[in-house]
Amino acid sequence: MSAPGCTLGAFAMTSARFSLSLVGVVGVFVAVLAAASLWLVISDPVKVATGVQAATEGNVSPLVKALADVLYDALQGVLKYL
């Protein structure tokens, strides 16, 4: 049993829950980004090849735009069913 004025235990629990939540959110984000990348490679390999070539020249925006388009289309498809 803790002392009435001791709040360190409650802070430690809150910090642990926050860190687990943050790790979960980052994990979901990475999984979605990986799935979108894989889908883009399968569905439009020419766009990926062009984006990778542009990325090697220092311009990352075509690849990021292609990933954003895939995620946007997927979100539209999910929202259509809701």
Give, for all 82 residues of the chain, the pLDDT tens digit: 555 555 555 555 677 777 778 888 999 999 988 998 898 889 888 888 888 888 888 888 888 888 888 889 988 988 998 8
Looking at residue 28, its pLDDT comes to 92
- Residue 76: predicted pLDDT: 92
Q: pTM for the whole thing?
A: 0.64
Residue 32's nearest CA partner among 67, 77, 66 is 67
Distance CA 45, CA 69 (A): 14
Which of 42-64 are b and which e, b meaning 16 or more Cβ less than 10 Å from the residue's Cβ? eeeeebbeebeeeeeeeeeebbe
In this prediction, residue 4 carries a pLDDT of 58
Q: CA geometry: angle at 76 spanning 73 and 80, to 5°? A: 140
